[in-house]
Chain A
């Protein structure tokens, strides 16, 4: 978790990490293992998971990631936009 991939762009479809880490994280449980779309970059900050353990690391991108409620909860017609470090995200390559 020390690399800074930073290869994302608005509109990218991403899947969030599914694991339940042992320590602090800012990836809410309800948004784990879910597919969303990058809306816009929300600045660059050291990873909160590392800072909570007293570790310092480089600033990396944080993104507003939009999810359809139905994809998170199996119901609902609203969207939920969560602010997530790029470390939590894997881009889903478009199927061609």
Chain B
């Protein structure tokens, strides 16, 4: 389990190895931090909000997004290729019948290159262990009360794909521009712990 890294022994080991690699000239000072900054550059939930707004505004885009998200997001100038290799993005759409919620029970897999770092609760052992067993209870704690008839689909990011939830377009948002629509989307909505 990789629940907490903060001041654990593994952190000390990593720092020790980093120091050794630097002292042997295999790694430039600050190179690891630089690579991480590079990986995170441009990663923000606003990217996810743009994808969702385009999908709400353009049903054709929504269809392409659900069929092949990696190709579709290039239409809005985004890519999953920010890391060492392009990761597969799987977009799952909420409907009147089904609400989707994403978790990584084994660690904390998340579309970081696209959305930036995940929220701390997403990495907590409480969220990871409970949302697969009792999603309705966990969502209620997040303030999301789903109708009893709405089915819940939990997605466990246990391998190589990364996930994004496509929330339902709010009622009464018909006259909004795409930028205004994007402003309605929250990071929790993109993970599935909020309606939008």
Contacts and interface: CB of A to CB of B under 8 A. Distances in A.
* Interface range on chain A (Cβ under 8 Å from partner): 20 to 34
Contacts of B93: none
Contacts, number: 67
Interface in A57-94: 62, 64, 69, 72-73, 76-85
A27 B158 CA distance: 7
B161 A78 contact: no
A78 B152 contact: yes
B158 A73 contact: no
A48 B159 CA distance: 8
B90 A28 contact: no
Given A28-B106, A30-B105, A69-B133, A78 B159 contact: no
Contacts of B157: 83
Contacts of B153: 78-79, 81
B42 interface: no
Contacts of B106: 26, 28
Contact of B161 (A27, A43, A69, A77): A43
B155 A30 contact: no
B151 A28 contact: no
* Interface range on chain B (Cβ under 8 Å from partner): 20 to 34
B88 interface: yes
A26 B158 contact: yes
Nearest to A47: B159
Given A26-B106, A28-B106, A81 B156 contact: yes
B154 A80 contact: yes
B68 to A, nearest CB: 11
Interface of B: 88, 90, 105-106, 132-136, 151-161
25 contacts: A26-B106, A26-B158, A26-B159, A27-B158, A28-B106, A28-B156, A28-B158, A30-B132, A31-B156, A42-B90, A43-B88, A43-B161, A45-B159, A45-B160, A76-B133, A77-B151, A78-B153, A80-B155, A80-B156, A81-B154, A83-B156, A83-B158, A83-B159, A83-B161, A84-B159
Given A27-B158, A28-B158, 12 more contacts: A28-B105, A42-B90, A42-B160, A42-B161, A62-B161, A78-B136, A79-B153, A80-B132, A81-B153, A81-B155, A83-B156, A83-B160
Which 3 pairs from chain A and chain B are nearest by CB? A83-B159, A78-B152, A82-B156
